[in-house]
Structure formats: C-alpha cells, structure tokens
Amino acid sequence: GNSVTQMEGPVTLSEEAFLTINCTYTATGYPSLFWYVQYPGEGLQLLLKATKADDKGSNKGFEATYRKETTSFHLEKGSVQVSDSAVYFCALSYNFNKFYFGSGTKLNVKP
C-alpha cells in the first residue's frame, strides 16, 4: 500500500539553526511528493513539491529532494527563523489524486 512516515516531534531549535525533518514513503508506483505547513489555527498550505525522482522542490529557503533509491523526501532549511514554527506534513499523491499524509512534525524555533 501507500504510506508516509515522518519523524516524530516536537523538534526544538534555536534561531539560525539547521533543520532536517525526515520523511520516507512507501508507494506502489511513481507518486508525487509534497511538504505542507500548518500554522496555528490555519489550514495546511503547500510548501514545496517534487513530481519525479531526483527533482528538488524549494520554497522560502526550504528544500527537499525526491530520492527514489532511498524512498525519501527529507525537508531541510539552512537557517530557521521563529516564524518557521509550525507543523510540517509530508505527503504523497498517487492514483486519482488521493493524498497520503504523514502524522506531522511540530517545529518550535526559539529566539
């Protein structure tokens, strides 16, 4: 079946620290991969995406590379800010646009 596993949080970092949130997936075909972000009290927003192997998605300083050989799509940012504090969801889309979301990783960035 299709599923997404991401690291449990919360992740607590100091401002300007390097961020990695791990995400691995299981899929029977060639899914598209996404990272969504959810700020408190809001819906999920698309952060970045990659539609095929070796693609790199990037946005707002965040990056993730679609690694088919390791079935991974880890989220990284070189220098986090307090405003990045949110919950981050990894997801895959396959077969008529149904999405499979991970459980979410809460990021807390301290000044």
Partner 1 sequence: DAGVIQSPRHEVTEMGQEVTLRCKPISGHNSLFWYRQTMMRGLELLIYFNNNVPIDDSGMPEDRFSAKMPNASFSTLKIQPSEPRDSAVYFCASSPGLAGGRNYEQYFGPGTRLTVT
Q: Could you say whether residue 106 binds partner 1 (CB under 8 A)?
A: no
- Residue whose entry in the numeric block shows the structure tokens 């990056």: 63
| DSSP symbol at 76 | E
Give the CA diameter of the chain: 43
**28-47 residues near partner 1, rule: CB under 8 A:** 31-32, 34, 36, 42-46
Residue 3 binding partner 1, by CB under 8 A: no
Binding segment (CB under 8 A) for partner 1, from list 16-24, 59-67, 69-77, 86-94:
86-94
Q: Are 5 and 91 in contact (CB under 8 A)?
A: no
Q: Which is nearer to partner 1, 19 or 47 (CB)?
A: 47
List Cα–Cα distances, 67 to 17, 24, 83, in angstroms: 24, 9, 28
Q: Which residues bind partner 1 (CB under 8 A)?
A: 31-32, 34, 36, 42-46, 49, 51, 89, 93-94, 96-99, 101, 103-104
